[in-house]
Every structure is written in structure tokens, then in C-alpha cells.
Structure 1
Amino acid sequence: MKSSSHAPSATSLPRAPRDDVDARSIRYLVTMGIRVACFVLMVVITPYGWYTWVFGAAAIFLPYIAVVFANVGEEGRRNRREDPEAALPAAPSTPAAPVAPEPRVIRIEETRPPSPETRPGTDGTGDGAA
């Protein structure tokens, strides 16, 4: 069975648009904060070396990455439906010892009701007097 880090939802409704915009704004601002830090580190740290180029590249490419991550809303990260068949075991388990089932046969036989002559306590006339 697959496990998920997200709590299961009681409904299939998406997040409120306001909450989605807030989360996207926070992601954008964090990424842009990292960009500013990279730019400052690129200028301040001396002597210049290979790390200066890494900070410079990060300062150049992080705005693009920030915009792309900010534009990916809840639809892009939402969990897709899971197929319940994938959670089932691949092969059904077999019983330890095969046991032959006992045949169940139900037999219904009809019998004729006893005739008045053969009923006990009657004289054969059908009036019930002995």
C-alpha cells in the first residue's frame, strides 16, 4: 500500500484560491531571497574563485526558477487518483492444504398423504367415528 505524506482529505475540493496564492507568493519570495543572498555573497566574498561563478550563476538563473515554481499552482502538485488494484497483492494466496469440498445434495421427496382407510382411528367411512 502506498503511503503519502499528506493527510487524506475528506473531500476532493481543491485548496481555496487565496491559500494557493499565499503559498505561491511565499515560494517566490523565498527563492528571490536566496537570489539576493547569492548576489551579495558574489560581491562580498574575496578572493574571487570558482564559488564566485556559482553565486553569479545562481543570481542569474534563480529569477527564472522562482517564477516557474511560483506559477505551478496546486493543480500541478495535487495527488492523482490511485488505482486500488495496484495496492492488491500480485498473486492470490492459496490455502495451505487443498481440501475437497463435501458435496451438498438436498433431496426433496414427495409422499402421498395417507388415505382415509389407512389412517389410524378411522373406520374407513371418513366420519371419524370408531
Structure 2
Amino acid sequence: MKQPHPSITNLPLSPDEERRHRMIKYSVAMGIRVVCIFAILFVPGWWAIIPLIGAIFLPYFAVVVANVSTDPRRAEVQRPGNILPMTPPPSAGRADDDSRGTHE
């Protein structure tokens, strides 16, 4: 069965474009962390624990979220139809020489 040719819409993002998306996600998360740090100074009493927890755990989640691929095209791996795994051809000449019984 012949596979359809991949179209330009099936191609994954370029490395530069993917890096830009990851940097935006990470920067947004770090911006929220900065807001949490400033909120610690202004939130009274025990409520300051909430922005403190956000400021502590947001760097970890920012890295995880930035490195998770959300591109659905990334899940499918396409193998070009013309490339087949290459196995070495059987060495017909050498096998015939040994099978003739020249070793007396």
C-alpha cells in the first residue's frame, strides 16, 4: 500500500521556531514567579504561603512545561518510503569457493 506524500503541514516546527515557543512558555512562567515574589511582601499573615509556594515550585514546572511538546504532528514519525534498511548482500563468490571441497 502506498503512503501519501508528506505535505508541508505535516512537517515539524523548525528548531528555531520550537526554541522560540519554549522560551515564551518559560518566560511567562518566570514572570508569574516574579509576581509571586512581590506578592509575598504585600500579602498579610499565613496567606503569604501561597505565593511563597508558587515562587518555590514554579521554576521546576516552568522547565517541565517548556520542554513538553504540544505539537500533535510530533507524535507521528514518518519514514521516507524509498529508504529501506540495508543488509549486506550475501557473498556468493566466497561461499562457492569453500563448498567445492578444494581443501584436500
**Percent identity of equivalent pairs:** 41
Equivalent residue for 2:56, pick from 57, 60, 73: 60
For the residues of structure 1 that align with 2:40 and 2:59, how far apart are their CA atoms?
16
Amino acid corresponding to residue 22 of structure 2 in structure 1? R
5+ residue gaps, structure 2, are 1-6, 77-104
| 1:96-118 C-alpha deviation (Å, 9 max, x unpaired) | xxxxxxxxxxxxxxxxxxxxxxx
For the residues of structure 2 that align with 1:18 and 1:28, how far apart are their CA atoms?
15
Partner of 2:71: 78
Aligned residues: 68
More helix per residue: 1 or 2? 2
TM-score, normalised with respect to structure 2: 0.58
Partner of 1:15: 13
5+ residue gaps, structure 1, are 1-8, 82-130
Partner of 1:101: none
Amino acid corresponding to residue 63 of structure 1 in structure 2? P
TM-score, normalised with respect to structure 1: 0.47
Partner of 2:45: 48
Deviation above 6 Å: which 4+ runs of structure 1?
A: none
Higher relative contact order (CA 8 A, sep 6+): 2
Amino acid corresponding to residue 40 of structure 2 in structure 1? M
| 1:34-58 C-alpha deviation (Å, 9 max, x unpaired) | 001001101223x323x21111100
Partner of 2:24: 26
Task: Indicate the SS of the match to 2:41.
Answer: helix
User: How far off its partner does 1:24 sit?
Assistant: 0.4
